[in-house]
Amino acid sequence: MADDPGRGEVAVVTGAASGLGAAIAGALTAAGWQVAGFDLRPSAATALGVEVDVTDAAAVESAVDRVERELGGVGALVTAAGVYEILPVEEIDDVRWQRMMAVNLSGTATTVAAVVPRMVARGRGGIVTVSSDLGVGGSQGDAHYAASKGAIVGLTRALATELEGTGVTVNTVAPGAADTPMLEETSPWRSADFLATLPVRRLVRPPEIAAAALFLLEAGTAVSGQVLSPNAGATI
């Protein structure tokens, strides 16, 4: 990373059209990054919104080409695109298993794969994946989601090991239950009973997650392979 990261540098944020991705895109923009938002829907309030399916590796590669053409070399990537679903294990049929893994894991791998060679060639770059507290400590009633997020933690930490010495850092933010549209109004994660179990007694706020991502992007090359958990104390 540069001594003064962010100032005019280009960041790609996936899932930037709403929720967590939008909050991260906003925080990066406020910190001086030029943000390109990747999403199925238009990403408002970004320097460049690209409508792209992150599970489509070729489309993602083209989207990154376009970002580098129009804005410049990608200095940061934050992968916030993801889906969530609560379902008992016997009801997670193959279609639901594959879909969850495709969006959360494959969608992360495609964007990371598209930027890594470019960052390595330039000798600098920061990648922050968004995993989940549920991928670290496990969950309840959403085995496919937890598995997909645990996989992201594994990918992140292994890639940090692999890219040691290249100037490229790879870290993950593992949020706890957060107040985003991904969490339905009737979600048990919003219930008073659950909130009472949290040391902080409330859901995590999207700007808190964005701040964690920004911290990791601006921390320099000394911090890599780390899991930062804005999780209201859910897993300690």
C-alpha 168: how far from chain center: 16
Q: Of 153, 182, 195, 198, which one interacts with another protein (CB under 8 A)?
A: 153
Does position 120 bind another protein by CB under 8 A?
A: yes
Hey, what are 192's tokens?
């008073």
Spell out, one character per residue from 63 to 102, where the chain touches another protein: x when CB under 8 A holds, - when not: -------------------------xxx-x-x--xx--xx
Choose between 91 and 185: whose C-beta lies nearer to another protein. 91
Does position 193 bind another protein by CB under 8 A?
A: no
Q: Contact at 8 Å (CB) between 46 and 72?
A: no
Does position 223 bind another protein by CB under 8 A?
A: no
Would you call 84 a catalytic residue per the annotation?
A: no
The one segment of 25-33, 45-53, 143-151, 176-184 that binds another protein by CB under 8 A: 143-151
Name beta bridge partners: 10.
Answer: 34, 74
Dump the DSSP string for the chain. Answer: --SSTTSS-EEEEETTTSHHHHHHHHHHHHTT-EEEEEESS--TTSSEEEE--TT-HHHHHHHHHHHHHHT-SEEEEEE-------B-GGG--HHHHHHHHIIIIIHHHHHHHHHHHHHHHHT-EEEEEE--HHHHH--SSBHHHHHHHHHHHHHHHHHHHHTTTTTEEEEEE---SBSSTTS-TT-GGGSHHHHTTSTT-SPBPHHHHHHHHHHHHTS-TT--S-EE--STTS--
Choose between 92 and 223: whose C-beta lies nearer to another protein. 92
Does position 137 bind another protein by CB under 8 A?
A: yes
Name beta bridge partners: 178.
Answer: 204
Beta carbon of residue 86, minimum distance to another protein (angstroms, whole number): 11
Choose between 26 and 125: whose C-beta lies nearer to another protein. 125
Residue located via tokens 């879909």: 99
Does position 139 bind another protein by CB under 8 A?
A: yes
Choose between 2 and 158: whose C-beta lies nearer to another protein. 158
Choose between 39 and 133: whose C-beta lies nearer to another protein. 133
Beta carbon of residue 103, minimum distance to another protein (angstroms, whole number): 11
Beta carbon of residue 18, minimum distance to another protein (angstroms, whole number): 24
User: Which amino acids are annotated catalytic?
Assistant: 145
Give the footprint of another protein on this chain (CB under 8 A). 57, 88-90, 92, 94, 97-98, 101-102, 105-106, 109-110, 112-114, 116-117, 120, 134-144, 146-163, 174, 225, 227, 235
